[in-house]
Amino acid sequence: MINFDKVFKRYPGNMDALQNINLEILPAELVFVTGPSGAGKSTLLKLISSVERPTSGTIVFENMNLSQLKSKDIPYLRRNFGMIFQDHKLLYDRNCFENVSLPLAINDIGGMNINRRVRAALDKVGLLNKEKIMPISLSGGEQQRLAIARAIVSRPSILIADEPTGNLDREYADEIMNIFYSFQQVGVTVIISTHELPITPIKHKKVHLISGRLEGQADYVQLPS
């Protein structure tokens, strides 16, 4: 589904964020990208969503070479992804319903479909009763769930989450992770960057980065302790 082949990313100032990354992500896989701060986790996710371009090497997503993607095609690529950020990136002048409906408007989906799909997405994350509420009134965990609802509403094939539980308490973090697992179970590829690998009851892949290098890549089935 996604293939990294000898990918390097160098930021201005000769700072190597990623070095010689070779990685394959399969459909419906749950992937944890782990490593300390500055290891290149976010850069890896940014390369997948074409927020950044690699300095060298190739990234292929469903036969599309992302390294050579034209700027005008990038928005259409991103519509394949549901993106979740540590700081939620919600629009605080719009209510929950309007926040979640934004990707549908972008995807030219209109009319009754919007209402049905937004309500379904909000229901999945347990926020159906808060559709008219402004995001600022929600707790941190609820805001992240709202961000997940926005990410899943257009039914993307891949969910990309950059430190989605970084700002949350343990209880909320587990809640969010369980939502991700439920999507992986129905065939969505889920890529999550995190400092620490959470205790995960399902099969997953761990991609460990240190100083921009891939230090380990392995499949695990981790059972709850």
**Binding footprint of other proteins, residue count (CB under 8 A):** 30
Instruction: Establish if 64 lies at the interface with other proteins (CB under 8 A).
Output: no
131-139 — which CB contacts under 8 Å span 24+ positions? 131/95, 131/96, 131/97, 131/100, 132/95, 132/96, 132/97, 133/95, 133/96, 134/92, 134/94, 134/95, 134/96, 135/88, 135/90, 135/91, 135/92, 135/94, 135/95, 135/96, 135/99, 136/92, 138/96, 139/172
Instruction: Establish if 62 lies at the interface with other proteins (CB under 8 A).
Output: no
- Tell me how far, at minimum, the Cβ of 195 lies from other proteins, in Å: 22
* Binds other proteins (CB under 8 A): choice among 15, 26, 105, 202: 105
Instruction: Establish if 107 lies at the interface with other proteins (CB under 8 A).
Output: yes
Site string for other proteins, 5-34 (x = CB under 8 A): ------xx----------------------
- Tell me how far, at minimum, the Cβ of 171 lies from other proteins, in Å: 27
Cβ atoms of 6 and 56 within 8 Å: the answer is yes
Cβ atoms of 176 and 144 within 8 Å: the answer is yes
Residues 114 and 67: their CA atoms lie apart, in Å, by: 33
Q: Which amino acid is present at 108?
A: D
- Tell me how far, at minimum, the Cβ of 114 lies from other proteins, in Å: 8
- Tell me how far, at minimum, the Cβ of 76 lies from other proteins, in Å: 7
Q: Which amino acid is present at 74?
A: I
* Binds other proteins (CB under 8 A): choice among 41, 145, 150, 208: 150
* DSSP letter, residue 187: T
Rank residues 91 and 199 by Cβ distance to other proteins and give the closer one: 91
* Number of CB atoms found within 10 A of residue 174's CB: 15
Which stretch in 60-68, 70-78, 119-127, 133-141 sits in contact with other proteins by CB under 8 A? 70-78
- Tell me how far, at minimum, the Cβ of 217 lies from other proteins, in Å: 26
Q: Strand, helix or coil at 196?
A: coil
Q: Which residues bind other proteins (CB under 8 A)?
A: 11-12, 49, 51-53, 71-72, 75-79, 81, 83, 89-91, 93, 102-103, 105-111, 150-151
